[in-house]
Amino acid sequence: MQIVKVGLLGLGTVGGGTATVLLDNAEEIARRTGRKIVVDMAATLDPGRTRELGLTQTRVTTNAQEVVSDKACQIVIELIGGYEPARTLVLQAVANGKHIVTANKALIATHGQEIFEAAQKKGVIVAYEAAVAGGIPIIKAIREGLSANRIQWVAGIINGTGNFILTEMRDKGRSFDDALKEAQALGYAEADPAFDVEGTDAAHKLTILAAISFGIPLQFEACYTEGISKVQQEDVAHAEELGYRIKHLGVARRTDNGIEMRVHPTLIPEKRLIANVNGVMNAVLVMAEAAGPTLYYGAGAGAKPTASAVVADIIDVIRKLNMASSLANRIPISGFQGDGVSDIPVLPMAEIETSYYLRMLAADRAGVMADVTAILGESGISIEAMIQKDPADERQAKIIMLTHRVKEQQMNQAIKEIEALGSISGEVTRIRMEPLA
């Protein structure tokens, strides 16, 4: 049986998981590929890690450049994460004629276009299934399984940390801070959780999903990003009372005017399947023209789920090499042929239209609601539902409203005018809503 030698960059959580899956499932993998996969070389700052993982025959180095330049390694697996030195190492590996497998969503979202173009010129493959939603094969589903469809929109819970926090707030009545501390204690959140709770991680993943769904260039900087740190427990409870769940959602939608690409807290009708995805689990809902809605659910992170996607990519690369096909006959890296990628504009958030949940504290006296509704009416905003709660201060009333769909810029102006009223205390809380139907 022929041997395929691979080089690993990084033996951390995902790198270690990848090595374990390759070793534990070696016989099954060989049955699927007709080839034996050998981790011939690994770069790690902890050389003893190879012994822990049972990589007794693997050459080990602390210099990643040695792996990308090694003549024996046919496939380089980049699992160090981040922007640099990952970008430099991957481009060097491509220049050296190596095929690439990566789980690095930040790298693909920000430098993917440059890497894909270099790979196309060099005739090598770049595989990145593990970059989005861990063990869920969402890249392959969109790029291959739904390739006969015009994708209309994609909506996903694609960060497990944020989903865990919102689930704890709903199920156990925790505050955001308490739920975050629990996530950190359980190892779901880092000491500095901003990357997850402020939406950057989800925005990286959504950028990739938008590119392969709509055939547009990767453009992370165009993705509107808003985190969940301002979501209050009372908003979670009010949403539940109104028949909704708050989820940190990534939404990419094709419209007549361009592409929407946004990550933010979102009210979803509780009857939707995706609204019932809880804890650290991920889910992606895809609306396709012919297939209709399809939902993909599973573990979005962790050593073995992510390693499953990494190894599946390695197998995919080997299968394509077995076919000895030219690059033109392979599945394009972005899912679209080079001349099929369109520079459709990504809409600014101000131009995007959604419904809204609004919460405000108003003086409990006659005429206040008339002032608020007058501002909404003048801004072209109609109210779908409204409830009033009595807070501890009897001189004030808590008002919760659901609106019909309206452009963000109209809502921004209306909120500004409402907050300027002397009868309104503090800021108006605004959370967007999506029917996902």
Closest CA to 67 of 15, 108, 24, 26: 15
Integer Cα distance of 329 and 320 in angstroms: 10
The reply to whether 205 belongs to the active site is yes
User: Which tokens sit at 84?
Assistant: 């640099």
Measured distance between the N- and C-terminal CA atoms of the chain, rounded to whole angstroms: 50
Return all residues near 121 (Cβ < 8 A) that are at least 6 apart: none
List of residues 6+ apart from 373 with CB closer than 8 A:
383
**Nearest CA among 257, 269, 300 for reference residue 282:** 300
3-class SS of residue 351: helix
**392 in the Ramachandran plot: left (φ > 0), alpha (ψ -120 to 50) or beta?**
alpha
Residue pair 115/90 in contact (Cβ under 8 Å)? The answer is yes
**DSSP designation for 367:** T
Three-state DSSP at 88 gives: helix
Burial class for 217, CB neighbours closer than 10 Å (0-12, 13-18, 19+): middle
CA distance linking residue 402 with residue 244, whole number of Å: 11
Single out the catalytic residue among 105, 205, 247, 304: 205
Task: State how far the alpha carbon of 396 is from the alpha carbons of 297, 330, 374, in Å.
Answer: 43, 64, 20
Q: CB atoms < 10 A from the CB of 22, how many?
A: 22
Report which of 299, 44, 60, 57 is spatially closest to residue 158, judged by C-alpha positions. 299
Q: In sequence order, what E strands does 273-325 have? A: 281-288, 292-299
Q: Any idea what the Cα angle at residue 35 is, between residues 34 and 36, rounded to 5°?
A: 135
What b/e readout covers 36-66, taking b as 16+ CB neighbours within 10 angstroms?
ebbbbbbbbeeeebbeebebeebbbeeebee
- Residues serving a catalytic function are 205
